[in-house]
């Protein structure tokens, strides 16, 4: 079983995203291998990707909100970012950065991944997400279900963090005549 440690088992320390084109390119082969061998994902159908591509050059914030039915979901979204031609940033449970995370602590921030404490009011992660959305350079991926439920046929209750983040970013960029788009995504 791939259980993440409980919140009280590991200390939380925020790490901002440090998106690196080198590490994004270098990770593509590994993620592709991981999807084929470990997650047994043979094909990704990217219906509707043209809407994301159309938003890419506008400078608007883009929040992608996929459901979370499987462990392969972040890797699938990483491959979708490759097809879209722009690296995504990701908000993820802080537990993947702690414990014996080793190399993940170094590489994940360079792939645009930053931790969030889902159980508390994590101002650092909220601000980092707000910065990504207001800059409008990279889409932000937030899994609003918050957990992996292994249910691909229905959506489980959503946490309010993604909506609060989108609303705060929309208020902030409205002054500059821009907006924030939310793209619901089905995996």
Query: Would you state the pLDDT for residue 55?
Result: 86
* pLDDT for residue 108 is more than 70: yes
Those residues with Cβ within 8 angstroms of residue 172's Cβ, 6 or more apart along the chain or in another chain: 130, 134
Domain boundaries of the chain, sorted by first residue: 16-185
pLDDT in tens, 19-72: 999 999 999 988 988 898 888 888 888 888 888 888 877 889 999 999 888 888
pLDDT in tens, 111-148: 999 999 887 778 999 999 999 999 999 999 999 888 88
**Is CATH 3.40.50.10140 the right assignment for the domain spanning 16-185?**
no
pLDDT range class, residue 165, cuts 50, 70, 90: very high
Q: What is the pTM of this model?
A: 0.88
Query: Would you state the pLDDT for residue 18?
Result: 92
């Amino acid at each position: 079983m791939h259980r993440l440690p409980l919140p009280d088992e590991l200390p939380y320390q925020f790490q901002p995203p440090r998106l690196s084109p080198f590490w994004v390119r270098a990770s593509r082969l590994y993620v592709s291998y991981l999807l084929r061998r470990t997650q047994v994902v043979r094909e990704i159908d990217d219906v509707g990707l043209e809407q994301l591509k159309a938003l890419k050059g506008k400078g608007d914030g883009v929040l992608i909100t996929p459901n979370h039915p499987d462990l392969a979901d972040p890797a699938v979204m990483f491959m979708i970012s490759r097809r879209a031609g722009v690296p995504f940033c990701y908000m993820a449970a802080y537990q993947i950065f702690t414990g014996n995370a080793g190399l993940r602590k170094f590489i994940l921030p360079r792939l645009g991944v930053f931790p969030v404490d889902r159980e508390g009011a994590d101002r650092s992660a909220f601000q980092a997400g707000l910065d990504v959305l207001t800059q409008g350079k990279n889409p932000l991926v937030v899994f609003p279900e918050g957990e992996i439920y292994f249910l691909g046929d229905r959506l489980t209750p959503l946490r309010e963090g993604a909506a609060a983040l989108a609303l705060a970013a929309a208020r902030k960029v409205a002054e500059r005549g821009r907006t924030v788009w939310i793209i619901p995504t089905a995996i």
